[in-house]
Amino acid sequence: MKTGTHHTPEALAKMMGNKNAEGCVRSPETIAKMRAAQSAPEARARLRAAATGKHQSDEARAKNRAAHTGKHPSAETRAKMRAGHTGKHPSEETIAKLRAAHTGKHPSAEARAKMREAQSNRSAETCAKMSAAKLGPNHPNWMGGISRDPYGWEFNDELKEEVRRRDGYKCQLCGVPQAECRTRLPIHHIDYDKKNSDPVNLTALCGSCNSKVNANREHWTAFFRAKMLQQAISSLKQNTTQPFLWREPPGVPANLARRPGWACDTPLTLQRAPAVREVPYVSSPSCSV
């Protein structure tokens, strides 16, 4: 065929009919040959040279956009694409070429405006989907959830704020309010186990007191456990609404009064809906109410 000639519409129809005929399936050998021919350096160079400097017309772009609007690859197709790219990284040569191709180039003001408009018009649903798609193991930089070590994954900003609200935004040792601190109140783990993020094991302290309780840990563990117990009893007596509801296990006097000298080894049930957890308290004279 001479350069510049084209197939007639009848010939093109016949060729497409043969390719799309029902039951016409290319063999694995044919597919492998086609893939090898298309991925050969010479073929890629010819395609690159043919496309260099050429741009689609507005009409062609509109047709492509209309053809793809509302269409999404199936779960099977996405799985194949993911498997095909897993473990593959561009070579140093490719990275160097990409860097050279983009060095010194900046998007025009019109292009930046279009990008800004496209990003600002995303719906809340789209943003949620994009966030979920890159969350946890789906993120390319995922390393097994070690970003919050040595703390537990559930020790997040929402839980910390819940503890501060429960404690009245005051340090539970010196009483200074959060408004008088330069930062938000740190959250202290009563048993010093950073993986134990049960709210009954957390208390709000100011920065100074949070440093202070790092020494003499046994004393401070007993102190804050007793304080949590007293807060639970006081909440029940006053019938106030608190994040934690205190409930005595069977066999404890109904008047809730603990006699002097009673040890606090008896586990109390601090109920935080919907879960109910048994929280043991160590013996300490300060545990008496």
Provide the whole-model pTM: 0.42
On the question of a cis peptide bond just before residue 250, with omega within 30 degrees of 0, the verdict is no
pLDDT at residue 241 greater than cutoff 60: no
Lookup: tokens for 184:
């938000």
Lookup: tokens for 38:
């298309």
Domain extents in the chain: 157-287
Per-residue pLDDT reduced to its tens digit, 220-238: 999 999 998 888 888 777 7
Distances (CA, A) of 228 to 82, 222, 232, 264, 280: 50, 10, 6, 12, 11
Per-residue pLDDT reduced to its tens digit, 20-39: 555 567 788 888 888 888 88
